Amino acid sequence: MTGSGQAPLGIGMVGCGNVSSQYVAGLAGHPGVRLAACTDADPARAVALAGKTGMRALELDALFGDPDVDIVLNLTPVAIHPAVSLAAIAEGRHVHSEKPLATDRDTARAILAAADRAGVRVGCAPDTFLGSSLQTARAEVDGGRIGEPVGFSVAFVNRGPEVFHPAPAQFFGEGAGPVLDVGVYYLTALVHLLGPIRAVVAIDRVTFPEREVLVGPAAGTWFQVTVPSHVVGAIEFVSGVVGGFTMSFDAGATAAPKLELQGTAGTMVLGDPNTFDDTVRWRSRDEDTWTEAQVVGPKGLGRGIGLVDLAAGIRAGRPHRASGEFAYHVLDAMLAIGEAAATGRRIDVVSRVDRPAPLGAEA
């Protein structure tokens, strides 16, 4: 995506755990970025990843100031995100963070303010809205396929991450739960399609106060659940669109993720917004059949494309799409959902953000 013929921007990866290999794959083949260095609190992980990728494994403190590192890619656990992002910014590095930016508004705003002062940029996952599925949906919505958007139905109703993750307690503590961990993909997709959120209401519950680790070395041990694990609510957008959502780790069986948009002229069904290339289908008011939308944008993009776009934006002097401000608005809305459920009140979402530009010809 970045202009060819210019030196690629160097990426310094902090955190070489589960998701790091997805980034290595997703960043491959993009000439505007180069995997330069990596580090991890567990140095053996950094050395192992460096051996596979050609990155240089560095000490934690050395990476932020390394001359080859232009952008720090923050792939640490949620609780560590702010410390790593702020350390990178303090060394004058741009940052692209895994989601969420932080787990409270003050800290997230402090990261954005520090970056502003330092004259560097902040990007944040998820970047799946840059995939062909959500770019196609965006083109269809903007082109009027469903008429005026009226509502949406969103459902992620699953067994919990303990079915696949060896350390699942982190998904049931502060900064996680189904809304912050998975709902972030749905809300990001919706804000990308419909614009900013005005207010939310919600009700939640904890079905299992303790859960069992099911895979890995700790299998058979139990952990406490400290955040709601089944959340139901409704969201009002500034545009007037109103829709409902369920985010749950408490179902006995996993159902296909659901993301449906309803408009005055038709309905559109999207795939899983935590993937890049699911099919988009629509059905108009006057037809009985579903039609597959013509794909817009490149297929085969992967995690890290938001970072590629950040690098391209830096070069071109234009805004990047998976921005810290966009992530902040989604975080603001996710925290409001928790507050709405805890208080039984409708909570206004104060922040505002413009929809990021479609990928269009730049892809």
What does the alpha-carbon distance between residue 177 and residue 226 come to, in Å, rounded to a whole number?
9
Binding mask 290-329 for ligand NAD (x = CB under 6 A): ----------------------------------------
Q: What is the DSSP letter of 323?
A: B
25 forms part of the interface with ligand NAD (CB under 6 A): no
The tokens 């307690």 sit on which residue?
A: 169
Q: b/e map of 143-161 (b: 16 or more CB within 10 Å)?
A: eebbeebbbbebbbbbebb
What does the alpha-carbon distance between residue 357 and residue 270 come to, in Å, rounded to a whole number?
20
351 phi and psi, to 5 degrees? -70, 160
The DSSP-derived string for 167-214 is SGGGGGSTT-HHIIIIIHHHHHHHHHHH--EEEEEEEEE-S-SEEE--
The residue (of 2 and 133) whose beta carbon lies closer to ligand NAD is: 133
Stretch that binds ligand NAD, among 27-35, 71-79, 212-220, 308-316 (CB under 6 A): 71-79
Taking CB under 6 A as the criterion, the residue among 19, 48, 118, 242 binding ligand NAD is 19
158 forms part of the interface with ligand NAD (CB under 6 A): no
75 forms part of the interface with ligand NAD (CB under 6 A): yes
Stretch that binds ligand NAD, among 69-77, 103-111, 213-221, 263-271 (CB under 6 A): 69-77
98 forms part of the interface with ligand NAD (CB under 6 A): yes
Stretch that binds ligand NAD, among 11-19, 132-140, 142-150, 331-339 (CB under 6 A): 11-19
Residue nearest ligand NAD by beta-carbon distance: 17
47 forms part of the interface with ligand NAD (CB under 6 A): no
Decide: residue 69, CB within 10 A, 0-12 exposed, 13-18 middle, 19+ buried.
buried
Q: Which of residues 166-185 bind ligand NAD (CB under 6 A)?
A: none
What does the alpha-carbon distance between residue 339 and residue 151 come to, in Å, rounded to a whole number?
23
Q: Are strands 210-212 and 222-224 parallel, antiparallel or unpaired?
A: antiparallel
265 forms part of the interface with ligand NAD (CB under 6 A): no
The residue (of 227 and 268) whose beta carbon lies closer to ligand NAD is: 227
Interface positions with ligand NAD (CB under 6 A):
14-20, 39-42, 45, 60, 75-78, 80, 98
